[in-house]
Structure 1
Amino acid sequence: MYKDLDLAILAGGGSTRMGLHKGNLTIEGKSFVDHIISTIGPLFANINVIDNGLQNTKVFGVNYYNDPLQISTKSSLLGVYSALYYSKNPQTFIIGCDTPLVNPKVVEYIISQRDKGDIVVPIANGRFQPLYGIYSKKILPRVKETLLQDLHKIKIILDEFNTYYIPEIELKKIDPDLEFIKNFNYFSDYQQYLKGIEN
């Protein structure tokens, strides 16, 4: 267990493309959120779920919160703000609930790189993956200021702070197919995944 590191799972978004709350979809008999908790939760001293009251199930010992900043736009940046706002430690591993195929070895590798920047995020499928990385709590005031300026692109913060991008090639050594970052944005993505594991 990393005693100086929080885990934050973002599950409070609008899920407009999915058409229903992603966090309550199931994988291996558990909701996406519960599956993430059971898979990597033991690595962390403190676990927070930002769910805005949307989760059907609650896990004992896990904290569930609403976004503390009441603004109309539900963005990834707001999720980062909420995660850091409730964090009890200097750094937080932040993950979206729509990437439930979480790989503990990948997470531990990302954690091993955490001293390389204020923000540490992986590159996967040729793109940076901001909701699968580590953020320092010291960026919290600037994130709030950015949101209150009605700016919601997370890249603004990544560019402003010392961000270390973990090369994709390093992650492929652990997870060759980059399954850890498989994202379920649409219900059809979820259905396709279920068909795949049935075959």
Structure 2
Amino acid sequence: MPADRESPNLHALILCGGTSRRMGRDKATLDFAGEPMLARVVRRLSATIPVENILCVAANGQALPPLPSPVRIVFDRQEDCGPLEGLATGLSALADADAVFVTTCDAPLIVPEVPEFLARQLANHDAVVPRINGQLYPLTAVYQPRVASVADSRLARGERRVIDWVTELDVRYLSREELTAVDPELVSMRNCNTQEELEELLEVHAKTRKHVGR
């Protein structure tokens, strides 16, 4: 897929199966401004990605909030293997996609234009990953589905760190300056693992809703 051209077959993968230990409750069903957090992420992504191209990866036995019927749901093949297992499961399920945008169910301010913007930079790279002040954001990124095999190999060796997996890939890193062109406040990279972080995002939402929408 050449750089700076729209992806004809862009999909979205939402990771939902985290243990939410610090939050103390399932973040997928957590209320955010009047709707379940996962439902909100799906709704925002569906503004630019066909809803039938959205896939959620959940933990075995996890109950998700009601979602539009075209949204697909798959479950981790192995338990307690962290987000790399969710990535491998989801990317394998989306093998026919040209590009897969990855996010998490606790990123309620995702800007709908971000997935396509990242996908336009993919070309023949394995992935497009934001790098802001030296920090990588591999769970707000775009991947070629083929990299699922690299994740599977790492998991088979008991290696579960997503950052280590990314270092094996051919990555196009995006800078803060590039990202602010589509997400001026970089809210797409913000998630919430604690009640305090949730309250902070609700405050950001209240202040920026005229820019990021409902």
Indicate whether the TM-score tops 0.5: yes
1:152-191 CA distance string (max 9 Å, x none): 1112221111011111111123333212212201122113
Mapped to 2, the partners of 1:13 and 1:167 lie a distance apart of: 27
Which range moved further: 4-13 or 120-129? 120-129
- What displacement does 1:192 show? 3.5
Mapped to 1, the partners of 2:64 and 2:19 lie a distance apart of: 13
- What displacement does 1:124 show? 3.3
Which range moved further: 175-184 or 149-158? 175-184
Mapped to 2, the partners of 1:121 and 1:170 lie a distance apart of: 12
Equivalent AA in structure 1 for residue 83 of structure 2: S
- What displacement does 1:2 show? 4.9
1:42-68 CA distance string (max 9 Å, x none): 433511111233313232110111112
Residue 48 (structure 2) pairs with residue 43 (structure 1): yes
- Please point out which of 70, 89, 101 is paired with 1:82: 89
Mapped to 2, the partners of 1:186 and 1:58 lie a distance apart of: 24
Name the SS of the counterpart of 1:15 in structure 2.
coil
4+ residue runs of structure 1 moved beyond 4 angstroms? Answer: 195-199
Mapped to 1, the partners of 2:41 and 2:201 lie a distance apart of: 17
Name the SS of the counterpart of 2:73 in structure 1.
strand
CA contact (8 A) 2:17 2:58 kept: yes
Mapped to 2, the partners of 1:150 and 1:156 lie a distance apart of: 12
- Which residue of structure 2 aligns with residue 55 of structure 1? 64
CA contact (8 A) 2:38 2:65 kept: no
CA contact (8 A) 1:122 1:168 kept: yes
Mapped to 1, the partners of 2:184 and 2:133 lie a distance apart of: 11
Mapped to 2, the partners of 1:196 and 1:95 lie a distance apart of: 19
- Which residue of structure 2 aligns with residue 111 of structure 1? 119
- Please point out which of 156, 159, 162 is paired with 1:148: 156
- Please point out which of 124, 137, 140 is paired with 1:132: 140
- Which residue of structure 1 aligns with residue 28 of structure 2? 23
Q: Which has the higher strand share?
A: 1
- What displacement does 1:196 show? 5.8
How many residues align structurally? 197
Residue 108 (structure 2) pairs with residue 100 (structure 1): yes
**Gap runs ≥5 in structure 2:** 1-5, 208-214
- What displacement does 1:141 show? 1.7
**Gap runs ≥5 in structure 1:** none
Give the TM-score normalised by the residue count of structure 1.
0.88
Give the TM-score normalised by the residue count of structure 2.
0.82
1:94-138 CA distance string (max 9 Å, x none): 111111101123332112112151011112354110011111111
- What displacement does 1:147 show? 0.5
